[in-house]
Amino acid sequence: MPWERVKNTVLLTATSPQLERDALQYACRLLQEGSLVAIPTETVYGLGADALNPKAVERIFQVKGRPADNPLIVHVGSLEQVETLAAEIPGRAVRLARHFWPGPLTLVLPKLDRVPDITTAGLSSVAIRMPAHPLALKLIDVSGLSIAAPSANLSGRPSPTRAEHVLEDLAGRIEAVLDGGPCPVGVESTVLSLLAEPPVLLRPGGVTLEQLEAALEERIIDGTAPLDHGEISKPLSPGMKYRHYATEAPLYLVEGQGERQLKQMLGLCEGFQVQGRKVGLLVTDETVPFFPRLLVESLGSRNNPPAAAAQLFQALRRLDARGAEVIIAEGLEDRDLGRAVMNRLRKAAVEIIKS
Ligand code: AMP
Ligand code: MG
């Protein structure tokens, strides 16, 4: 076998056409026999298993330490494959799939009985998407499987956007990681429920609310609305109620704009330094010069939300790795992909400071 093992987890690299064929075949066999393989997608790495095999799916929950009431997204390779999972495919689903698939949009539809309860955490609906990463699509095609795949991290940690992040969290716990390079979108898919009319946004992600409304030519209910981290009384989607994406160092999110936001960040930083704590900063390029000689990770320019999304999880992991004892994060505007970034930062934060 040409591949390296890390604590017994095979790192399947696919850097030549021959290696890619072999890696896909190897990964395919593992999935078919009920094993776990982390797979690259355009959003984040997913922890893949055969979605219709309850034993395999059960291991996903065990390995991640994922709460049993948080359902999984099932990955397919075509709209036809959706018919093998969903009891009903409304016109809106077809329209959205034609428009955004393959891509970072997950649709929640009524499920067929053959989808095991454990996959959907006992719900009568199933979340489905077609990923845009070529290796993920090839794997679905070659295996003929529908692949359940939540993010391939330990539950609660920042999601993995590189194969090495998966190994950091899961080496020795899963059979293999298929290395497809860095994930270009960098935040998880948008989750949209089509169980009722009008549709309800359950998680902001790679496809924006504005894009969805434009494609459907109708309003969508934003079910994610004010989510100051922590509990919301009646979550529409199980995943909404958990703290997520957390760094080891406590993260303070400073929302707002302009000079007031900057002053808040400078003040906080000084306060932590007086306490003798090593401060890490997660800021935009425009803010970097105000924090010279400090531990800084940039999210790119404030005017480029997609770049911020692509950098986000990696930057969080790096701040931990570089020894930050406390993290101050600069809030972005709640627009475009900034909405998805802010959703993740609010869930990662121990405290949100509004300026
Ligand atoms: P993850 O796989 O970690 O990216 O999380 C999947 C997200 O999709 C979680 O927030 C789930 O709560 C949500 N989800 C999955 N299936 C359903 C469903 N049937 N109904 C509502 N939300 C769902
Ligand atoms: Mg996740």
Measured in angstroms, how far is the CA atom of residue 60 from the centroid of ligand 1? 14
Do 137 and 189 share a structural domain?
yes
pTM, full prediction: 0.93
Same domain, 133 and 281: no
Within a domain: 243? no
Task: Compute how many other C-beta atoms are within 10 angstroms of the C-beta atom of residue 259.
Answer: 9
169 shares its domain with 282:
no
Digitized pLDDT (tens) for each residue of the chain, 355 residues in all: 889 999 999 999 999 999 999 999 999 999 999 999 999 999 999 999 999 999 999 999 999 999 999 999 999 999 999 999 999 999 999 999 999 999 999 999 999 999 999 999 999 999 999 999 999 999 999 999 999 999 999 999 999 999 999 999 999 999 999 999 999 999 999 999 999 999 999 999 999 999 999 999 999 999 986 544 444 445 566 666 666 788 999 999 999 999 999 999 999 999 999 999 999 999 999 999 999 999 999 999 999 999 999 999 999 999 999 999 999 999 999 988 999 999 999 999 999 999 8
- The preferred substitution site among 39, 64, 70, 111 for testing ligand 1, maximizing ligand atoms within 8 Å of CB, is 70
Same domain for 18 and 155, yes or no, is: yes
Residue whose CA is at the smallest distance from ligand 1 atom 3: 150
What is the position in ligand 1's atom list of the atom closest to the CA of 66?
Answer: 3
**CATH number for the domain that contains residue 301:** 3.40.50.11030
Q: Are the C-beta atoms of residues 296 and 281 closer than 8 Å to each other?
A: yes
Among candidate residues 175, 199, 231, the one where a domain is terminated: 231
Please give the C-alpha separations between residue 73 and each of 31, 107, 139, 153, 191, in angstroms, as whole numbers.
Answer: 16, 9, 16, 15, 9
User: Do residues 174 and 135 both lie within one domain?
Assistant: yes
Question: pLDDT tens, 142-179?
Answer: 999 999 999 999 999 999 999 999 999 999 999 999 99
- What is the number of the ligand closest to the CA of 117? 1
| Residue 240 within a domain | no
Digit-coded pLDDT (tens) for 195-212: 999 999 999 999 999 999
How far is residue 239's CA from residue 236's CA, in Å, rounded to a whole number?
Answer: 9
The rounded Å distance from CA 95 to ligand 1 centre is 21
Same domain membership, residue 181 and residue 56: yes
Rounded to the nearest whole angstrom, what is the distance from the C-alpha of residue 88 to the centroid of ligand 1?
A: 18
Provide the number of structural domains found in the chain: 2
Pick the ligand that lies closest to the CA of residue 244.
2
Q: With respect to residue 310, please indicate whether it lies within any of the assigned structural domains.
A: yes
Domain residue limits at 76? 4-231
Which helix (H) or strand (E) element contains residue 106?
strand 105-110
CB atoms closer than 10 angstroms to residue 192 = 27
